[in-house]
Structure 1
Amino acid sequence: MTKRTSLKLTDERQRKLDRASAIVAEDEYDDPPMSVVIDAALTHLVESEQNIDDARGEFDPETIQAIANTSVIGLRYRTSIESKWR
């Protein structure tokens, strides 16, 4: 990962941040800082990968794949977790 000093906020990225902010907010009047929203999203991604790995012994691969596939995390049947992001 390349470290950058600025974050360009495209319209789509701003919409995603607004949706994520609403999820992270304690109530409709809370406006969490962007750093809190980004930290929550990163934590969710890391924990999701761990949850998928933990579920492998408990659930069949088709169920895990049907529930856990997103535009960011892609699962190959019975093999591995792959990032679809880039």
Structure 2
Amino acid sequence: MPTKRTTLRLSDERQQLLEEASEIVADDPEDDPPTSDVIDAALTHLIESETNIQEARDEHPPHVIQSIANTSVLALRYRTRVESRWRK
């Protein structure tokens, strides 16, 4: 199967997000991880976060999950569902 390739348009905001994410993924201050590793880590985190939120709903009241898990990417609608705020 051929590899899919794409070109990322790096706006100033996206470049800043990648730099901040790179710092999180880096092993130490001198490490400069490849952008593909940073993107892989971010996608994995997003998927795992959504799974963790869904699983936590069995053990914790909605207001607890909401206060801990709300981000600009995932939001917990009180007593209803997890939804993405991106790409509506």
Task: Report TM bin, short chain.
Answer: over 0.9
Structure 2 residue runs of 5 or longer lacking an equivalent are: none
Q: Which runs of 5+ in 1 are unaligned?
A: none
C-alpha deviations, 1:21-61, integer Å up to 9, x for none? 00000001110000000000000000000100111111110
Alpha-carbon distance, 1:5 to partner: 2.0
Instruction: Find the aligned partners of 1:84 and 1:13 in 2 and give their Cα distance.
Output: 17
1:14: which partner in 2? 15
Partner of 1:43: 44
| Partner SS for 2:51 | helix
Two-structure CA RMSD over aligned residues (Å):
1.2
Which aligned segments of 4 or more residues in structure 1 are displaced greater than 6 angstroms?
none
Structure 2 length-normalised TM = 0.91
Who is 1:55 aligned against?
A: 56
Q: Identity of counterpart residues, as a percentage?
A: 67
Counterpart secondary structure, 2:33: coil
Distance in 2 (alpha carbons) for counterparts of 1:28 and 1:67: 28
1:4 Cα deviation (Å)?
A: 6.8
**Aligned match of 2:82:** 81
Matching residue's letter, 2:57 = R
Aligned partner of 1:41: which letter? Answer: A
Find the counterpart in structure 1 of residue 6 from structure 2: 5
Q: Aligned partner of 2:9: which letter?
A: K
- Give the Cα–Cα distance (whole angstroms) in 2 for the partners of residues 55 and 38 of structure 1: 25
Equivalence for 1:68: 69
